[in-house]
Structure 1
């Protein structure tokens, strides 16, 4: 009966059962026809269990270094823990310790989204509000494109307690995803319509896209009175606001008062942005991933 190093799972189960029945290790070795030393080694290892990992004491920093870290965190909003500590010339501190120290004086936040508005933008918004003050907005078709290329706003970093997160410009366009166009008017959703992969929306392709989707599949089915009262809203993307697109829409009957004048840098005024937000939260909830663009579209 030779000595074998490894016991099978079945043999290990039998050893446990025999021990529970009160059998000696010598008897178990004979029953399993295994070397006595192999049985004893297995029992000893099982009784020992796994050794607990001895945690090394964390690197301590002085009160002076702590004050430097606090000042650096205030000066570097959304900075990483490594960047904050390096700016203080504090080295050799592992990430877990850095985060534990920062957690007492700061918290992880992401940048707030806000359109980059200057004085001119604000004045044009006021003009827009005055112009459409008495407009029946239930007759406005709000339109926009959205690129489904992953959840936005993923970037995070440390920021001191009581501080506001700095502004990060809203991403208007993205690549490598599914580009969709849709509209909402009153309680009706128009589309969404998918832009073919690889198609760049310039003036010509944008107008052709509207012809094949919006006009042929939705607009032409509406009554004459609806078309007469509807106001078409689109943002100031180059493909939308170009002379070519404006002239093309005019030939379709969408011109002058039927084409809403849109203030620049104002995506937050478009209610369809709320729809995009809801859709993205639903599509990418719980960190969901997709293997293809078609699965995202579905």
Structure 2
């Protein structure tokens, strides 16, 4: 119902997302992105090809808007995102981005409903900074353009860079964000998201077939 309601509101207001800042966290890893299950025979060692028990990972937080790429923040190894350090990220990186682009009076900040995002501590901080927070529906990656940016990043890194160490992976992430993530690419996924709004609404908030590429 929340997916239907939020898309109804956007359609009614003819939302163009001109002042939206979409944010999210993503995890990129060197091993174990694909599980190749080649047989149902448990004795066949090929069943384990492509898996990794402890894959090497990098966790990032990022934000985008129609103005272009926003901040990209690398989380510390094994760092758990909690309300305090999440709010620190917003204060240090999001607020300056808003102030140098669209200004706090016009900006609308989108985040999903993760506990650290919607905690009273975080929401009080955002209120004190005069940042408007958009309502969000759970399980709605098809309504957030930054989700498609993460996918583009992972595909590009896997095809073009093929990193073998976490240092190489981190450098690849930085390269994508600074050279590949253009305003044109961002606009493409904002338009894609706007198309999805109508599909989700037509499905009464249900799941849709999302041909993202």
Question: What range is the shorter-chain TM-score in?
Answer: 0.5 to 0.7
Q: Is the 8 A contact 2:98 2:107 kept in 1?
A: no
Matched, 1:263 2:137: yes
TM-score (norm 2): 0.65
Q: Is the 8 A contact 1:182 1:190 kept in 2?
A: yes
Q: Which runs of 4+ in 1 moved over 3 A?
A: 150-153, 156-159
Deviation at 1:199, TM superposition (A): 2.3
CA RMSD between the two structures: 2.5
Q: Is the 8 A contact 1:151 1:280 kept in 2?
A: no
- The 1:237–1:278 alpha-carbon spacing in structure 2 relative to 1, beyond 3 Å, is same
- Which residue, out of 79, 84, 97, partners 1:199? 79
The alignment of Structure 1 onto Structure 2 pairs a total of residues equal to: 155
Q: Is the 8 A contact 2:24 2:62 kept in 1?
A: yes
- Which residue, out of 146, 155, 158, partners 1:281? 155
**Higher Cα radius of gyration:** 1
Deviation at 1:197, TM superposition (A): 2.5
Q: Mind listing any 5+ residue stretches in structure 1 that lack a counterpart?
A: 1-122, 160-173
- The 1:124–1:158 alpha-carbon spacing in structure 2 relative to 1, beyond 3 Å, is farther
More relative contact order, 1 or 2 (CA 8 Å, 6+ apart): 2
Matched, 1:128 2:6: yes
Q: Matched residues in 2 for 1:251 and 1:208: separation?
A: 14
TM-score (norm 1): 0.47
Matched residue, 1:147 = 27
- The 1:152–1:129 alpha-carbon spacing in structure 2 relative to 1, beyond 3 Å, is farther
Deviation at 1:196, TM superposition (A): 2.5
Matched residue, 1:238 = 115
1:32-77 deviations in Å (ceiling 9; x for gaps): xxxxxxxxxxxxxxxxxxxxxxxxxxxxxxxxxxxxxxxxxxxxxx
